Chain A
């Protein structure tokens, strides 16, 4: 290249002259490119700054399942932020998770917002957060009501049972112990789940548990002021004096536990209960729906005989109405009689007498405190006695029955006694024993020995008779039968097709046939030649003259 250039050097003057056109302006537009680039860059920066939402910090017990830069924060399954960093708290008991919320989710950085980690949880109530099995854990969020800004949150360890703004109402239950209930345990109304337990805590005095439950709208209107709540947990199997009872709310409650509620039967206040109304949680449905019992009264009974089968909680019935239950069964010692009477303590709910109680109260009047002892005194004077009766023959369970026996011997009753002592009579079990012993006596009087002897003699006779039949009668009978058999055989032979008798008969019949034919021929002959009788048989006539012809011709010959 350089060679040609060098070669051309001398002829430089002969080169064509470039044209010159003055048309272009000399401003370099190229700088627009970096300016635009800068503008784009700046706008990106500004955009990023503007779209960045607030940053918050949430503390959790554990960072399990949380991944920096990946774990999302979701509200109603919409992503509202992302975990950007995670570190241990200074005292190393917690994990501090830094979350960058999106711009439009700034209302989640306010007081009252709740955060929790949604991981797959397998509980008695089923599997929750199933989708997280595949996608990994995420952080759930729920808004609060407050407008006040907050950037530091304490995360919940379990997902909240109720999300903010969900229709429904909260109620409070009081119970002795939690049983198998837990947060999230279902609340049933007519066996349909209408709510769940949202929290529980020990009462301040430690003597009970307060539960909070949430009933979803619109079913919360079924919780009335008179509603009764009972523990529907597990299978309620009770083997009592009134037999075997099995009751369960639903299969789920057997595993997970639950609470059911219902209105009591009969007239009651049907107005919906206000929020946070307080109720008692009964142990079972029967107790819950029973009419209110009022104050129980303690009474005592002494039985002089064994009370095997009488358990604590056995029913106490007055004239067949269940009015209370047994609370204690204890042995006592009577030094005079050297006996061990059984002392039974019972609780009686006077209000379960219902109208009877009200009317007695009216009649007797006076101080309501001493009303019950006075009622009892009146009843005892009229012959009220307690008795341990068998409620269930199968299990031998006993219950206490108080019945009026007008013929009962008079007994002193102290209405001021503490506790009241109800006179007793031996239970019907003792009667049963008496009856049984009577039956045993009667049975023992039956002369089994002589019956046996007589029966034995009769059997002997029968045996002899049968022997006779076998040895004497049977061979004779056998011979007879053989004779009969032979006879029948002979008859058979005689009648069989090839027997001589049959042959003879056949020959005879043939002979007879021939005879008959001869007779007919003879009579025919006589018919034609009657003179033969007189002249004897003439010479034979010549055979007929008709020419023999084929059957064909014969046929054709006939028209």
Chain B
């Protein structure tokens, strides 16, 4: 399978926008003769970009977890919940199923994304030979799961919109949810910046 030729091997490359096939060039300033879109055999600086977004996401992940994401206010009590304390609260208040869902969406998935992206990026940088198909699957998983990570933000947004009985009870978003949103967006950007074709490019290093 790895013996199959790449476009590069055939002296070709394609435009990402209009799909025009042109002759291969290493020149980073090359442009598509048809639509004048920059041409490059791989996404330019894909690894650098992915790393930058991933690191930013990791940085924002700290305040996203430390700051409370929402305030639930009822007649009897006022609670500021961070993601984790919200999960605990749900667990204690007898909705372990919801607690697991929120925990998966807010903690497990982002962490998993960090790990997978980090692993993909390092493996590509080291031009690792290891299981390119598995790694491609991992990448697809990251891309797929990216949208669902916004679950917490959605929950907060929906609750604040729905639960609004002034005195009796109220849900307000708190700054944590902004950082959490930024984390989700940044991880998605990191996944988008990554060029999965690099997984198959190990030959280059050899």
Contact = CB atoms under 8 A, between A and B. Distances in A.
B11 interface: yes
A368 interface: no
A182 to B, nearest CB: 31
B55 interface: yes
A379 to B, nearest CB: 78
B56 A37 contact: yes
Interface string B97-121: 0000000000000000000000000
Given A12-B11, A12-B12, A15-B22, A34 B31 contact: no
A40 B179 CA distance: 10
A18 B75 CA distance: 68
Nearest to A136: B77
A19 B10 contact: no
A131 to B, nearest CB: 12
A460 B48 CA distance: 145
Contact of B75 (A5, A9, A134): A134
Contact of B10 (A9, A17, A18, A33): A9
Interface stretch (B59-67, B128-136, B156-164): B59-67
B21 A8 contact: yes
Contacts of B45: 28, 30
Nearest to B53: A33
Nearest to B75: A134
Interface string A33-57: 1101110110010000000000000
Interface in B22-51: 22-23, 25, 27-34, 36, 39, 45, 48-49
B113 to A, nearest CB: 16
B155 interface: no
Contact of B49 (A5, A30, A41): A30
Contact of B60 (A2, A15, A22, A41): A41
The winner among A12, A26, A70 for most chain B CB atoms within 10 A is A12
The winner among A17, A41, A134 for most chain B CB atoms within 10 A is A41
A18 B49 contact: no
Contact of B76 (A12, A41, A135): A135
Contacts of A23: 29
B17 interface: no
Contacts of A21: 29, 31
A335 interface: no
A448 interface: no
Contact of A41 (B32, B62, B75): B62
B7 interface: yes
Given A5-B10, A26-B28, A41-B63, A134 B22 contact: no
Nearest to A23: B29
B15 to A, nearest CB: 8
A134 B76 contact: yes
A490 interface: no
Interface residues of B, number: 40
Contacts of B144: none
B94 interface: no
Interface in A220-263: none
A36 B27 CA distance: 31
A16 B52 contact: no
The winner among B36, B59, B77 for most chain A CB atoms within 10 A is B59
Given A5-B12, A31-B52, A34-B52, A18 B27 contact: yes
Nearest to A67: B77
A5 B8 CA distance: 10
Given A34-B56, A41-B62, A20 B29 contact: yes
A102 to B, nearest CB: 15
A204 interface: no
Contacts of A38: 56, 59
A41 B59 CA distance: 7
The winner among A28, A37, A134 for most chain B CB atoms within 10 A is A37
A6 interface: yes
B205 interface: no
Contacts of B23: 12-13, 15-18
Given A12-B11, A17-B33, A2 B4 contact: yes
Contacts of B34: 16
Contacts of A453: none
Contact of B5 (A5, A34, A36, A70): A5
A24 interface: yes
A136 B79 CA distance: 13
A549 B89 CA distance: 129
27 contacts: A12-B23, A13-B23, A15-B11, A16-B33, A16-B34, A17-B23, A18-B22, A18-B25, A18-B27, A18-B30, A19-B30, A19-B33, A20-B25, A20-B27, A20-B30, A20-B31, A21-B29, A21-B31, A28-B49, A30-B45, A33-B56, A34-B53, A36-B56, A40-B60, A40-B63, A70-B77, A70-B79
Closest 7 A/B residue pairs (Cβ): A37-B56, A18-B30, A37-B59, A12-B11, A34-B55, A34-B56, A15-B23
Interface of B: 4-5, 7, 10-13, 20-23, 25, 27-34, 36, 39, 45, 48-49, 52-53, 55-57, 59-60, 62-63, 75-79, 186
Given A16-B21, A38-B56, 18 more contacts: A2-B4, A8-B10, A12-B11, A12-B23, A17-B33, A18-B22, A18-B23, A18-B27, A19-B30, A20-B27, A30-B52, A31-B48, A33-B53, A33-B56, A37-B59, A37-B186, A40-B59, A41-B60
Interface of A: 2, 5-6, 8-9, 12-13, 15-24, 26, 28, 30-31, 33-34, 36-38, 40-41, 44, 70, 134-136
